[in-house]
Amino acid sequence: MEQPDRDGYALIGLGEAARVDARGPERFREVARRCRELARAAECGDDLIGLPPGAGPVFCGGFAFADGGGGSPEWSGLAPAQLVLPELSIVRRAGRAWLTFAGVVGGTGRAERSGASAPGTDPSAIADRLHDRLEALKPASMPLIDPSPIQPARVAGAAPPEHYEGAVARAVELIERGDVQKLVLAREVRVHAARAIDPAAVFGALRELFPSCFSYCVGTAEGAFIGASPELLVRRDGSRAQTVALAGTTRRSADPSVDDHLGEKLLHSAKEREEQAIVSARIERTLAPVSVWVAAADEPVLVKVHNVQHLATPIRAQLREPVPALELAGLLHPTPAVGGEPRDRAIRLIPELEGLDRGWYAGPVGWTDLAEDGEFCVALRGGLLRDRTAHLYAGCGIVRDSDPAAELAETEIKLQTMLPLLA
């Protein structure tokens, strides 16, 4: 996970000292509980006080959009909730870096669920393995994207564009009928390349093109879930929590005056302001019961990234109780920016209208530490890379005034985060 514009911030984890998987409606609490059990017994060689967020042992990973999401074959290897304690983690900020090694002694982590003993839990063997991993580290440059000079990539929607327009039209009917206030509908586009897609090359391009976004990459044996998200779901630092209500999108322009005009239109669009207000109000209501106070900006601001600009309302909260970052993420997910309003009704309708398995798309991705602080972004503007195929996802918030053709065009704009890199 990397956000270059934030003092060069980056966090990376390699290897697997332990893994915590969960599924179902209690998955956020379940992984928080099991991470807490591992953390409670942790012996840290150095005092962690004064180190930057993410230094020391961290649990990295994320969650599917739905409680049981990611069941389709392409999402194999990523559970509905999956956090890994890396054997090696590095956090970088403001020109300095901190490296942490972690090993689990005893039958915890992934083996705990089956009752089997964890492999390599002898302390000497663990130390030898960590030493070998350190010795194997060496400087390397990010690879460049190297498309086939002979066979161009083939791009095809998982469903025809008309399917998405029809889903939007049905959603508008439900909204006009009063069944829901807002629905977020996504579509999938697949890129079939001539050769295996290198996740490192894609990540290298994303971090350069979108330095203000959260560039993320969750790598597994089967593939990599990767993207550049503009949306923070939650950041917890002690008793302080931060988030952002992000909704409303328009394109960018190379002409500064046209770009400013597009931004002004977005700021004054009744449809986009309504969509943004729904997200902001829900986040404030959700945080209020666990907070001493919740403060949102009076007016949304423009957030401009490489290819699009958004409406955003920063929101801060002083927590009443030390709610873990994982549980805060569970309270907030999914916000109306990626789900809908009311939440429960929207979550039931989304798969019926979309006809796809979102997997980890629009779910939380990030990290938490031994103090249960952490940071999770909403996994947007990305896709799943598996060998020669990329599954890319983009969605739009549907409200009463939504036009099916316009919403389809907005998904095309959002797909431009990764599509030009792959095709």
List, by residue number, the catalytic residues: 182, 231
**Residue 381 carries which DSSP code?**
S
Bridge partners (DSSP) of residue 90 are: 12, 99
From the centroid of its chain, how far is CA 204?
Answer: 17
> Which of left, alpha, beta for 132 (phi over 0: left; psi -120 to 50: alpha)?
alpha
Both structure tokens of 371: 């103090």
Neighbours of 178 (CB within 10 A): 7
Give dist(CA 263, CA 411) in Å, integer. Answer: 18
CB proximity list for 131: less than 8 A, separation 6 or greater: none
Burial (CB count within 10 angstroms: exposed 0-12, middle 13-18, buried 19+), residue 40: exposed
- Candidates 262, 243, 244; CA nearest to 252 is 262
CA 24 to chain centre: 19
Measured from the Cβ of residue 106, the count of other Cβ atoms closer than 10 Å reads 13
- Interstrand relation of 96-101 and 154-157 (parallel, antiparallel or unpaired): unpaired
Q: Supply the DSSP string of 181-223, one letter for each residue.
A: SEEEEEEEEEEE-SS---HHHHHHHHHHH-TTSEEEEEE-SS-
Nearest-angstrom CA–CA distance, 129 and 44: 18
